[in-house]
Structure formats: C-alpha cells, structure tokens
Amino acid sequence: MSVTQPWLPYRQMQTAPIPMMAVRTEGVRIYLRDGRTLIDGIGSWWSACHGYNHPHIRQAVQEQLEFMPHIMLGGLVHEPVVRLTDRLARLLPGELNHVFYSESGSVAIEIAMKMAVQYWKNKGISGRTRFMSFRDGYHGDTFAAMSVCDPVDGMHRLFKDVLADQIIVDLPRDEKSLSALENIISTHASELAGVIVEPLVQAAAGMKFHEPEVLAAISDITRRHDLLLILDEIATGFGRTGKLFACEHAAVEPDIITLSKALTGGTMPLAATVATGHVYEAFLSDEYEKALMHGPTFCGNPLACAAANASLDLFETEPRLMQATMIESQLEEGLAVCRGYPGVTDVRVKGAIGVVQFLHRPDINYLREQFISQGVWIRPFGDVVYLTPALNIDSDDLQQLINAVNHVVKGAAS
C-alpha cells in the first residue's frame, strides 16, 4: 500500500530524489530508518544550536506538557511567557523590551512590518508605508516578507507582479555606496516606514557577509532620517556569529528586532518581534483601533516558551559563545584548503558559519548525495556549500564535517 508523501519545502516534487526517513536524533546525529547515521552540519536550518534532544530542554518541555501544553494569550498570560519576555528584554541591546510572539520567522517579519507601518499611522503621519531592504536579502516566504527579499536573484521572482512595491538597493560596501544609500533614503524618506536588514550575514542568499562598520553606518543613516531600523536576526541570533546577537558586533540598537530559529534551541516553533519603548508607546491610547491587531493562535505557546527558557539557561550555564569562537578557528583552518581548488571563488568564515562558494552553480543534487555518502548531512544551495553546526559540536565531529566538505568540493571542482 502506497503512502501519500508530504509536500516538501523548496523541492520540485516531480524530479527530486525520494526523501530519506529520519527516525531519531541525538546530539549532532541524525539516525535514518535504513540504519545509516549522519552528522548534521547545518543544525536543521541553523536552529539546533545545542544539538538535538538536549536533556535540559527535553526535561523542561516534558514538565510543561504535564500541566499546561497551551493556553491562549488573549486576556491571559502564563509563567513561561512572562519569564521569557523578561529574560529577552534583559539580553537584547538597548531598549528592546516589548516582545510580541508568533510561531515562525516569516510571521515575525510580517509583524515587524505591520508594527512599523502602524507606528507612523498612530502618530498621525500618513504615507509612510514602504520599506527599504537590500539585494541578496531574504526575510521569509509570506507575502509581506517576500516583498523585501531580493526581487531578482531571490527565490520569489515568480511573485514579483503581486508583491508590494518596496525600495530594494545594493548593500553598501564603502563610502561611495553609503553616500548613494543616504541620497536614496533622503529622496524617499517621507514614504518609508523603515529599513530592514540582516545584520552581518545575508543567510539564505548564500551566506553573504558584510562588516560591522557597514551595519553601523546604515543605522546612522536611518537615525539621521528618522526611520525605523528593523534587524532580522532570525538566522544570526543566539550565538551564531560569535556574539549572542549579531548587531552587538556593531554596537547597533535597532527599533525592532526579529528572532526565531535558535530561540528554542530548534525544539519548538516560536518567534519574537521585539520593539523599543518608543515604538511600543505609539500603540498606547484610549482608542482601541490603535492597538496592534495581530494574534496568532499559538502566540506565546507555553511549551515553546518553556523550551526557549531552557535554551537561554544553556547559554548561561554552558560556554556557547566561546564554543562558537572555537568553531570559527577550526573552520578557518580546515576549510582554507578549498581556496586552492579550481572553480572555488571564495572561502569565508564568521563565527560558527563556514562557507565555500563556487564560481558557477554546481549540481546541487549530486553534491547532496555525495555528502550523504560521506556520512554527513550538508545541504548546499545556490552556489555555496556551508556549515552551521550545533554550537556544542565536538572538534572530532566538526573535523569530519570539514573533511567531507574538502573531499566533496575537491571532487566537484576537478
């Protein structure tokens, strides 16, 4: 009897290989039904920052499940969400202390954009409904989020004619391009609700990096023109770049920040859109219509909040940021050999992110199968092979991942 398969993400179901069946995870390993074991090099899309099945997170979720798996936040709160909110406010830079919860990164972006537009409306300022974002950016797959993704090289080109018309420019890299950016912002400031950027790493665009000085300069420009700065830390938050939040490298304090992925250690769906006091205060009024009209059913789910609190415990009690720095050193040394392979145009490392970029897009399905044959789970996309392992991966397992990248990339380049 045939079994109907799920419709899988980012996959041409007609031509893609039949997916493998995972039956168990533990630490950095994925166990397959056919008996094979794979070392996970990408942390389930960068979310499993403590590896899989960490006993502390598992225990917290089990205990929460015993007495309250879910309760609506409409008119009620619960201890895990109150505790998590306070902890995030204390950890985030500046005055980011008003947390709105949802279940996914894309929705967190939608909420951030909605907040920004309504902020201006609530202040009695009309016309500020557009956003500036940057080429090579990716912010999610829902409609508002798609509108601020790269419209040419991104994955949402098909929807170009139905998305909101945003202002999307090159990410500045020097004084000349920063001056050009400021001129564009000056021209459009009266129609812009805000500027949205992934700090330091444009992740799903191919792990493209920029320097902290660039982020700081963008922040300065938004301040000069009275725009809201939205930082998308869905991929970079919680230690991935070597600091708890990537914006800390540049000492930048945004007006709104979005978090997800590693927020729960990759255990449960949860996202947060966090605003500063001056944004939040624009929603306080005797007029009901000025409230933020948004309310996901599983907003602030207790199970997810319990997992997130347990994940934050681990950042306090285990040396995650130091481990990210150690991963960075090992990736820099181990992947350097790829620079000598024909067809490789760049090798770059930032925190616990290692990237090998090809000059031309390789056969992705071939590379993926080769990695599986090496006993590792690495999913190249576009023109890059990348590693974003669990922050607590041991050096031997990380070396196996590095060796697999060197072996497969060398074979593809020859």
How does pLDDT run across 115-162, given as a tens digit for each residue? 999 999 999 999 999 999 999 999 999 999 999 999 887 778 889 889
Domain boundary among 298, 317, 336: 317
| Per-residue pLDDT at 154 | 73
The reply to whether 272 and 366 lie within a common domain is no
Average pLDDT over residues 257-268: 97
List the beta strands (DSSP E) in 47-169.
96-102, 130-134, 167-169
Domain boundary among 299, 317, 335: 317
Phi, psi (degrees; rounded to nearest 5) at 264: -105, 15
Quote the domain boundaries for residue 394. Answer: 320-413
3-state secondary structure of 102: strand
The reply to whether 297 and 336 lie within a common domain is no
Asked whether residue 18 is assigned to any structural domain, the reply reads no
How does pLDDT run across 346-380, given as a tens digit for each residue? 999 999 999 999 999 999 999 999 999 999 999 99
What is the CATH number for 292? Answer: 3.40.640.10
Asked whether residue 125 is assigned to any structural domain, the reply reads yes
Average pLDDT over residues 86-103: 97
Asked whether residue 21 is assigned to any structural domain, the reply reads no
Asked whether residue 184 is assigned to any structural domain, the reply reads yes
What is the CATH number for 356? Answer: 3.90.1150.10
Asked whether residue 13 is assigned to any structural domain, the reply reads no
The reply to whether 306 and 377 lie within a common domain is no
What CA–CA distance (Å, rounded) separates 318 from 392?
9
The reply to whether 312 and 330 lie within a common domain is no
Number of C-beta neighbours around residue 78 at 10 A: 17
What CA–CA distance (Å, rounded) separates 335 from 356?
8
Tally of structural domains, the chain: 2
Chain position carrying tokens 């419709």: 7
The reply to whether 197 and 154 lie within a common domain is yes
Domain boundary among 317, 345, 364: 317
The reply to whether 306 and 329 lie within a common domain is no
| Per-residue pLDDT at 244 | 98
Asked whether residue 4 is assigned to any structural domain, the reply reads no
Asked whether residue 19 is assigned to any structural domain, the reply reads no
Nearest to 314 by CA among 40, 26, 49: 49
Residues in contact with 183: Cβ distance below 8 Å, sequence separation at least 6, in sequence order: none
- Per-residue tokens: 263: 């927020």
How does pLDDT run across 384-414, given as a tens digit for each residue? 999 999 999 999 999 999 999 999 999 987 7
**pLDDT mean across residues, the chain:** 96
Phi, psi (degrees; rounded to nearest 5) at 97: -140, 15
The reply to whether 372 and 305 lie within a common domain is no
The reply to whether 406 and 308 lie within a common domain is no
In this model, does residue 299 exceed pLDDT 90?
yes
Dihedral of the alpha carbons of 197, 202, 204, 206, in degrees to the nearest 10? 150
The reply to whether 211 and 353 lie within a common domain is no
The reply to whether 308 and 383 lie within a common domain is no
| Per-residue pLDDT at 72 | 96
The reply to whether 225 and 325 lie within a common domain is no
The reply to whether 388 and 307 lie within a common domain is no
| Per-residue pLDDT at 292 | 97
| Active-site annotation, residues | 10, 138, 232, 261
How does pLDDT run across 230-246, given as a tens digit for each residue? 999 999 999 999 999 99
- 107: exposed, middle or buried (Cβ count in 10 Å: 0-12, 13-18, 19+): buried
Asked whether residue 299 is assigned to any structural domain, the reply reads yes
